[in-house]
Amino acid sequence: MKQYLFIMSTLLLCLAVCTGTSMADAQKGPAEIILKSTLDPAKKVKRAFFPHEKHQKRFDCGTCHHAQSDDGQQVAYKEGQKIAKCESCHNTKSGIDKKLETFKKAAHARCRACHKKRKKEGKEAGPIKCKGCHRKNIQ
């Protein structure tokens, strides 16, 4: 009986670990994302291609994602927190710093700045020029 309980407990533990890992991986989001503003669209909307999975393999979620405190201040990402759309905070009605008040401005500030920094450091870096992210025929 004890041996049976030990085997069943071990199997259940393995199942729980495997299921937890699979669920965590499933919550990491899509492999590729097409970014576009819906709240403050530019006169001519320029969608951007974002290789999400490629970034996930190199960086922690908190490298790109953050949250907002009740008083409107940026706070660090905590593992497992719900990730909101960038423009839920980065929009012209939010009252945040003009340099970051739209999704476009926030993305250019965060993404391009990171790409430029990595390139300067001699590391593999993402695109810096417009057409690198804003590819033709993105739906």
Long-range contacts of 32-38 (CB under 8 A, 24+ apart): 34/138, 34/139, 35/103, 35/107, 35/133, 37/87, 37/102, 37/103, 37/104, 38/87
Q: What is the pLDDT of residues 98-118, one digit of tens each?
A: 999 888 899 999 999 999 999
Spelled out in words, what is the top-level CATH class assigned to the domain 29-133?
Answer: alpha beta
> pLDDT category, 72, cuts 50, 70, 90?
confident
Domain boundaries, the chain: 29-133
Q: pTM of the full predicted structure?
A: 0.68
Residue 19: predicted pLDDT: 44
